[in-house]
Amino acid sequence: MIDRSKVLEVLRGYDLKNLRIGMIASHSALDTADGAVEENFKTLAVCQEGREKPYIKYFRAERDQKGNVITGMIDEVMMLKRFPDVLDPENQDILKEKNTLFVPNRSFTSYCGIDAVEDQFTLPLLGSRNLLRSEERGDKRDYYWLLEKAGLPYPEPIEAEDINQLVMVKLPHAVKTLERGFFTAASYEEYCQKADLLLRQNVIDQDGIELARIERYVIGPVFNLDYFYSPITKRIELIGIDWRFETSLDGHCRLPAPQQLTLNEQQINPEYTVCGHNSATLRESLLEKAFVLAEMYVEATQEYYKPGIIGPFCLQTCVDKDLNFYIYDVAPRIGGGTNVHMAVGHPYGNALWRTNMSTGRRLAREVRIALENDCLEQIVT
What is the SS3 assignment for 286? helix
pLDDT of residue 61: 98
CA 141 distance to own-chain centroid: 18
Tell me if 232 sits within 8 A of 374, measured CB to CB: no
Burial class of 71 by CB neighbour count within 10 A (0 to 12, 13 to 18, 19+): exposed
Report which secondary-structure segment, H or E, holds 367.
helix 359-372
pLDDT of residue 138: 83
pLDDT of residue 186: 97
Cα distances (angstroms) measured from residue 308 to each of 10, 109, 127, 192? 22, 18, 9, 40
Q: What is the pTM of this model?
A: 0.96
Specify the amino acid at residue 278.
Answer: N
Q: What's the CATH code, domain 4-125?
A: 3.40.50.20
pLDDT of residue 227: 98
Tell me if 291 sits within 8 A of 236, measured CB to CB: yes
Beta strands at 42-48 and 20-24: parallel, antiparallel or unpaired: parallel
Specify the amino acid at residue 176.
Answer: K
**Positions in the chain whose pLDDT score sits under 70:** 177
- Cα separation of 359 and 377, whole Å? 20
pLDDT of residue 178: 77
Please state whether 110 falls in left (phi above 0), alpha (psi between -120 and 50) or beta: alpha
Residues sharing a CB contact under 8 Å with residue 70, sequence separation 6 or more, in sequence order? 62, 63, 64
> 222-367 belongs to which CATH class?
alpha beta
- Cα separation of 125 and 128, whole Å? 7
pLDDT of residue 180: 85
Domain limits of the chain?
4-125, 160-216, 222-367
- Cα separation of 126 and 14, whole Å? 15
pLDDT of residue 179: 84
Q: 93-138, pLDDT tens digit by residue?
A: 999 999 999 999 999 999 999 999 999 999 999 999 999 999 998 8
